[in-house]
Amino acid sequence: MNSLINDEKHYVTLNNYLKSIYHKKVFKIALNGNFSCPNRDGTISKIGCLFCSKEGSGDYAGNKNLPIKEQFNQIVKLMETKWPDGYYIAYFQANTNTYDTLENLKKRYDQIYDGKTLLNDKIKILSIATRPDCLNEEIVKYLANINKTLTVWIELGLQTMHEKTAILINRGYTKETFEKALALLKKYHLTTIVHIINGLPNETKTDMIQTAKYVNTLGIDGIKIHMLHIMKNTPLASIYQNKPFPLLSLDEYVDIVTNQLAYLNDQIVIHRLTGDAPKDLLIAPSWTLKKFVVINEIDKAMRKKQIYQGDLCLK
């Protein structure tokens, strides 16, 4: 069993993983590079993934109208009131952060690290959220070169392994595209983090566990597990309000997540077990607003049932 798993946390938390390496709190500085998305600009479609807010999953990121350096410095000031002695992850969160020419990508990322100088010596990781259909060898080589000096994480949204659901939510790429992108990232030894969503329309508990089991076969480094949010001003909100579909209860979500964790190799770092949408945008489910309650319920269930990450990954 992974030594980072303990009696309190029966899975490898991101916090424990980072502290084992850096021996301090490491926190994210969420940035907005003002990128677009091929699923919004008409290249694939104009409506985006049905669940995605107009901010492109960057509701908590920096002000896109400011240079990256200014965003970073503003957010650091706020974060340091809580953690005055920590390290940083420069996290490009909003929209598709490799969807541009290499020249334009460099204009953003050079503000963090230009190959010689870091914007701030406390930056330990550059984390980039993107789509698998917006990666090519030229871009990955560039990121791999940064990775020689500054650790680079690439976050990919899979959401589900099931093609029927992927079409329903307008994901805009196939599982084959995802697998090719993942293989390219692994070829250049870049850390990969995959996002999945529980509670997508028409998916059963078995479907969601199958997604976790599939992800476990891919040799990824980390995972983010989310609950589906219905947010205002999204295509999914219109569908839900016209014809409500069942959403997972907190108990159902806890049951599914604990099972998913049991199927994940204990070398996979668990970056997230839930998420919270902005309160003024959230339509449902309201229980997701209490993120720490959700995490506590997952922890309690795993301790009660004596479930540990990886228990079932070889069975």
Q: Determine which helix (DSSP H) or strand (DSSP E) holds 165, and give its type and residue range.
A: helix 163-168
Residue 6 domain-assigned?
no
Label residues 119-136 b or e (16+ Cβ within 10 Å = b).
beebbbbbbbbbbbbbbe
Residue 312 domain-assigned?
no
Residue 59, pLDDT > 60, answer: no
Residue 139 domain-assigned?
yes
Residue 41: HSE in the Cβ half-sphere, 13 Å Cα cutoff: 9
Residue 80 domain-assigned?
yes
Query: Higher pLDDT residue, 167 or 79?
Result: 167
Q: Residue 117 is encoded by which pair of tokens? A: 């100088």
Q: What is the mean pLDDT of residues 289-294?
A: 93
Residue 315 domain-assigned?
no
Provide the domain limits for residue 285: 14-305
Alpha carbons 308 and 45: distance in angstroms, whole number: 41
Query: Higher pLDDT residue, 94 or 16?
Result: 16
List the CATH number of the domain containing 18: 3.30.750.200
Confidence band of 209 (pLDDT split at 50, 70, 90): very high
DSSP 3-state of 197: strand
Phi, psi of 224 (to 5 degrees): -120, 120
Q: What is the mean pLDDT of residues 83-88?
A: 88
Residue 156 domain-assigned?
yes
Residue 5, pLDDT > 50, answer: yes
Residue 116 domain-assigned?
yes
pLDDT of residue 55: 56
DSSP 3-state of 236: helix
Residue 53, pLDDT > 80, answer: no
Domain count for the chain: 1
pLDDT of residue 85: 86
Confidence band of 56 (pLDDT split at 50, 70, 90): very low
Query: Higher pLDDT residue, 298 or 61?
Result: 298
pLDDT of residue 171: 93
Residue 83, pLDDT > 90, answer: no
pLDDT of residue 61: 62
pTM of the model: 0.94
